[in-house]
Amino acid sequence: MPKKIMIIDDDIDLVEAMRITLETDNYEVIDAQEGQKGLEKLKKEKPDLLILDVMMGTLDEGF
């Protein structure tokens, strides 16, 4: 069973580049482009690793 990695980032091109790289190494990739949707998916999917853009402009304005 592949490990799950979740990416929450509003830069779609960056997410797709990371997805291609990670899936090539047999990781399952879950993504979200908005903070609220990311939280919902995070609770549901329970990934092994989270890659998070802390400078996103929503959900209390990032970091």
- Fill in the DSSP letter of residue 8: E
Residues spanned by the domain of 26: 4-52
* pLDDT tens string 4-20: 999 999 999 999 999 99
What is the reported pLDDT for 54?
82
51 CB-contact burial (10 Å; exposed 0-12 / middle 13-18 / buried 19+): middle
What is the reported pLDDT for 35?
86
- Residue 58 falls inside a structural domain: no
What is the reported pLDDT for 28?
98
| pTM for this entry | 0.85
CATH number of the domain bearing residue 14 = 3.40.50.2300
- Residue 41 falls inside a structural domain: yes
- Contact (Cβ atoms closer than 8 angstroms) between residue 6 and residue 31: yes
- Residue 61 falls inside a structural domain: no
How many domains are there within the chain? 1
Q: In which residue ranges of the chain is pLDDT below 70?
A: 57-63
